[in-house]
Amino acid sequence: LWLGDARAAKPASVNRLGFDAVLNLAPEETRRRDGSSYAARDLEFLSIEATDRPDYDLLGQHLSEAADFLERVGAAGESAPAQAGAGALVHCFAGVNRSAALVVAFVVTKLRWSLLRTLRHVHERRPIVLTNLSFRLQLIRMAAREGLLLDEETVAASTAQLARSQTTPRLACCVS
């Protein structure tokens, strides 16, 4: 599963990187509406018109369709065919908000990674993601419903650190 921008989705880049499928979340902005250039190369293609606005319900409107497509093309890992290439590219115009939010949501819901683990993983590979606060909040709400905000390892480490830092505070009172 790959996350990118409109440049990564150019047919030459898709060929060079060996993607099997492309999910475009900004077809009007990228001028790739029909996927004919991908079909000629025998690639799976799905175009979803999504908007990068604070009032846009990205996950509510598109997660199900995007996840169905990504599962069908084997982006979840186990179901990928043996002869599969590099996998699926999910992109929007800049590869920052729409595509990043849907990739994160897919990994959390389908692979059952915690939101924190997924965000760390994505951010290590693409530091400029999820600047749309509304999309972040949608991800938090979704992960909370799934019980996947934090993973056990992170909770255990945080609890241990908190326990080590627990000291009795010195209180002083000054009364005049």
Catalytic residues: 92
Give the contacts of 102 (CB within 8 A, at least 6 positions apart).
23, 25, 58, 59, 62, 63, 66, 90
Q: Which one-letter DSSP state was computed for residue 170?
A: P
Residue with tokens 């880049």: 13
C-alpha distances out from residue 145 to 53, 109, 115, 138, Å:
23, 10, 11, 11
Identity of residue 133 = L
Residue with tokens 């509510």: 60
- d(CA 25, CA 168) in angstroms, rounded, equals 53
| C-beta separation of 53 from 66 below 8 A | no
